[in-house]
């Protein structure tokens, strides 16, 4: 029997999260074009840096398109000339207008890092951890003009364990999504025919995170603060000000306070281990990073700042 020809695919993605899916497509499909966000300034030196997907495509010697939008007719025409059977999108960062969505004969699919309709939007991994969810996952959906609202093609779940961070969970979900896309591409027409609509009334939403979202205020429950620290690691990172200096919080855990300390005000550093009173109970700051410095234990940070102990930060 003659083998069915490989489907032609245009891949659109930007961060490291998207790279495993690109690799999965290359193993079983004909990737005719790659789209990624334009080169941007990154790192402490603010040097021009290509996206993770762009860097991987350069290694593979595949042409990369980096339009700032699809509002220009020449950008639409360039995509039409690629004549893809399908467009696969993973954390691309650009909205695809109706004209783009209608180009491939099999449509456009998106790999989203949540169990839709929960956590539509830009930061589903971080938000799931911050919210204290015990389970998340990956959804492959048909793309529509509305944000993350298309019919669901496939879903798989993953546990959120107490020690997971946004960084480690991202690695798990990116590999899970790649495996799902690989399975989908073996019989896309069949999967597409069985897609089901989302329950739009149950949808929850996330937003694009900013550095300011990481600020810690101590009038919150201890568990919620630990979840926030985990959910914002590695970016934008939870942070506090100590003696006027910016300090990133990398790792923390909840602890029970002795009854004698329950009346302490929120934000008080109660011991030299960097235990901080919260709205209820307390957290121990295990690992932190002072501005311009290296990671260290909270206890080491306090060694030269004993005046902070028993004061409010």
Which tens digit of pLDDT belongs to each residue from 225-274? 999 999 999 999 999 999 989 999 999 999 999 888 888 999 999 999 99
| One domain for residues 43 and 186 | yes
Task: Answer with the one of 202, 227, 260 that is the final residue of a domain.
Answer: 202
Residue 277's CATH number: 3.10.25.10
Task: Answer with the one of 182, 202, 222 that is the final residue of a domain.
Answer: 202
Please determine, for residue 43, whether its predicted confidence score (pLDDT) is greater than 80.
no
Q: How many domains does the chain have?
A: 2
Please determine, for residue 59, whether its predicted confidence score (pLDDT) is greater than 80.
yes
Tell me the C-alpha distance between 62 and 28, whole Å. Answer: 16
Characterize the bridge pairing of strands 238-242 and 245-255. Answer: antiparallel
Q: Look-up: residue for tokens 């069949």?
A: 190
Confidence (pTM): 0.95
Q: Which domain holds residue 230?
A: 211-308
For residue 96, being part of any structural domain is answered with yes
For residue 1, being part of any structural domain is answered with no
| One domain for residues 244 and 134 | no
Name, in order, each residue with C-beta under 8 angstroms of 262's C-beta and a sequence gap of 6 or more. none
Confidence of residue 83 (pLDDT cuts 50, 70, 90): very high
């Amino acid at each position: 029997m003659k083998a069915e020809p490989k489907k032609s695919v245009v891949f659109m993605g930007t961060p490291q999260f998207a790279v495993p899916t690109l690799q999965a497509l290359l193993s079983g499909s004909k990737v005719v074009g790659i789209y990624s966000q334009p080169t941007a300034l990154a790192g402490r030196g603010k040097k021009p840096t290509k996206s993770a997907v762009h860097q991987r495509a350069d290694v593979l010697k595949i042409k990369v398109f980096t339009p700032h939008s699809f509002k220009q007719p020449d950008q639409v025409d360039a995509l039409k000339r690629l004549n893809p059977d399908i467009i696969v999108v993973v954390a691309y960062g650009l909205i695809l207008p109706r004209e783009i969505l209608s180009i491939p004969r099999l449509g456009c699919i998106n790999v989203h890092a949540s169990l839709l309709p929960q956590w539509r939007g830009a930061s589903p991994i971080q938000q799931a951890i911050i919210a204290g969810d015990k389970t998340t996952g990956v959804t492959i959906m048909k793309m529509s003009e509305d944000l993350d609202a298309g019919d669901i093609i496939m879903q798989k779940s993953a546990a959120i364990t107490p020690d997971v961070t946004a960084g480690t969970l991202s690695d798990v979900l990116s590999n899970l999504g790649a495996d799902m896309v690989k399975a989908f591409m073996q019989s896309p027409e069949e999967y597409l025919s069985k897609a089901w609509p989302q329950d739009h009334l149950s949808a929850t939403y996330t937003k694009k995170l900013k550095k300011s979202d990481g600020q810690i205020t101590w009038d919150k429950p201890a568990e919620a603060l630990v979840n926030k620290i985990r959910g914002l690691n590695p970016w934008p990172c939870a942070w506090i000000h100590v003696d006027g200096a910016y300090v990133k919080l990398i790792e923390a855990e909840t602890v029970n306070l002795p009854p004698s300390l329950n009346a302490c005000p929120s934000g008080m550093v109660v011991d030299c281990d960097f235990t901080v009173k919260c709205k209820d109970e307390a957290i121990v700051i295990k690992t932190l990073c002072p501005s311009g410095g290296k990671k260290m234990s909270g206890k080491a940070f306090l060694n030269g700042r004993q005046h902070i102990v028993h004061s409010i930060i």
